[in-house]
Amino acid sequence: MEQRMFGKPLINPVDLQRRIRKLGHQISQDYVGKDLVLVGLLKGAFAFYADLARAISIPLAVDFLVVTSGGSSTEGKKRVKMISDLTVDIAGRDVLLVEDIVDSGLTVKSLMNRLQARKPASLKICAMLDKPSRRKVDVKLDYVGFMIPNKYVIGFGLDYKNNYRNLPYLAVLDQLQNE
Ligand code: IMP
Ligand code: MG
């Protein structure tokens, strides 16, 4: 069955997987001998997370945070709310936060502060996408899949009003889908 194309293609599945394999390889080297806990931010990071985890060749623990940042609108104020917390104690462990996209940086900043308070041995960020042009707070991204321009992106976990998360590629939301 043919899948309808949504949006303007930005990054295809082949390039995505190639980049994820590279990130996985780098993370595997950087975390040798560490006690890695891979923390995925749901819902957006689910697709990237699943592929990244399988591209990492060293032992790791999987865990997730469910967060919302004030609705799924393209604009607007953010109040990062934790809907569901981690299931493990991260004290003394090496935590790598896996996020779909860093835009203003507010989501990641707020979560980093909260996780840091639990005294992990280390706390780093891996983001599939970095949209640096809209940054409001300073955050250091340790691993980035792709830098992208200031466009609204859907697919591979990313939504517009909770749609399009299952697209196997990244696309720029075009006018047609804009209401
Ligand atoms: P930040 O707090 O502004 O960095 O926003 C990060 C969150 O906003 C991401 O985890 C996404 O859920 C959402 N977001 C930001 N930009 C996009 C986009 O282009 N497409 C879909 N969701 C986005
Ligand atoms: Mg997100």
Q: What is the CATH number of domain 13-67+89-149?
A: 3.40.50.2020
Cα separation, 62 vs 103, whole angstroms: 24
Q: What is the pLDDT of residues 84-110, one digit of tens each?
A: 999 999 999 999 999 999 999 999 999
Per the structure block, which two tokens stand in for 143?
């691993």
List phi, psi (to 5°) of 171: -140, 155
Is residue 26 pLDDT above 50, yes or no? Answer: yes
Q: What is the pLDDT of residues 112-162, one digit of tens each?
A: 999 999 999 999 999 999 999 999 999 999 999 999 999 999 999 999 999
pTM equals: 0.92
Cα separation, 39 vs 37, whole angstroms: 6
Instruction: From 128, 150, 143, 129, select the one nearest 96 (Cα to Cα).
Output: 143
Cβ atoms 161, 179 nearer than 8 A = no
Could you tell me the residue ranges of all domains in the chain? Answer: 13-67+89-149
Comparing 8 with 121, which gets the higher pLDDT?
121
pLDDT of 74 reads: 52
Q: Which ligand is nearest to the CA of 47?
A: 2
Best residue among 64, 103, 128 to mutate for probing ligand 1's pocket (most ligand atoms within 8 Å of CB) is: 103
The answer to whether 35 is a known catalytic residue is: no
Cα separation, 79 vs 22, whole angstroms: 33
